[in-house]
Structure 1
Amino acid sequence: MNIKLGEIAYEILFGSYEKPKDEGRVKYLYAGHFDDTYMPTKFEGSYVELNSSSDKFLLRSNDVILAGKGHRIFAWAYDPDFGQAIPSSLFYIIRTNPEKIFGEYLASLLNSEKMQHKLNLIGSGATITSIPKKELVDLDIVVPSISKQLKLMELSHLLNENISLTKKLLKQKETLKRGAINKMINNLNK
């Protein structure tokens, strides 16, 4: 079923503008903290303290953040296991009801080629991409049943695991190749 993002999200707001510190309890997320697979693997020393004005930006279960400004548009589904986090003002926070759509499914959908193309068209016209909230709210998305969303996410997890194992195997083969070449070169000098 196609539905507008604004109809499935009960709240869409920009993240908070804060001055981060090197230490703290609450992670403050920038686009640079995310790797090429849109995972926050590069996180380092960027923290903020919770206060009455920043509390509303604290990510909750099923929240999705979407980079709405910048050179790289991507989405990430918040996982409470990551720890408390507040996204910077670069990100939209999209809050949805998990009985209608899973945050992880929504993030995968927003990261799909088709949606990336739509988002880039919406945000084009300037040197740096900027997606207007009104356009984001009106974005048509495909929302299958919860059971289909679960199946899609299970398949996505399996494929991600396969990709990860393939990358590890490739690194080991590269190490093996370097070692073999070094051994052959060392044997030539004898």
Structure 2
Amino acid sequence: MTSVIKTRNGRNHIPYDRNSSDSNSGSNNEEDHLAPPPPDVNSWTTVDEIHVVLTYLTTQDAHTDSKLYTLLLKESELEYSLACPQLLRAHLGRQVVAASKETLEVVADVAKLITSDLVVTGSMGEPQNWENALTDIKSYRFSFLVQSSMSSIRGCKGVSSHSGSPVPGGAAHKNSEDESVDIKDVDILLSEVVVILG
């Protein structure tokens, strides 16, 4: 319902409602801003005139607040719509990078394990007993020195001994720990270890 404002000259003033072409949102006349009050609003003196003006200004203020709230809501929705793709891309980017790093680390670890397994099993045949191999490697230098020195002594004295025994003619030492070491096997094992470590 349109309110009528009486001016001091006795004429009735009807507030002007803008049409739909004047509205930014394309809404109907009831949702548009009301026209500003008449220029002689401060000259009104009667209580009824002031009451009408206050009612009109209150309506205009409420309508303005509603429009402002609508614009702020649309601005917030627009900012959210613009920010969502950026946040999504950034989030997916971090996840993809993290997943790629984890995958590459796992692949590298698996590759190392496969390589080690292939080197140990493929080049040496059956999996080795590393405790016995380590014992052989530790005793290799001692056995080599003993056998070298004993062979020179045997060559000088002409004494025959058991093959591979560090002591000349020592049948009692036939089952000793050093006698059980095969020098050729130790040489092969050392060369394989050098290949692995290299």
Q: TM-score, normalised by structure 1?
A: 0.28
- Normalized per residue, the structure richer in helix is 2
Greater Rg over alpha carbons, structure: 2
Structure richer in strand, relative to its length: 1
Higher RCO (C-alpha 8 Å, min separation 6): 1
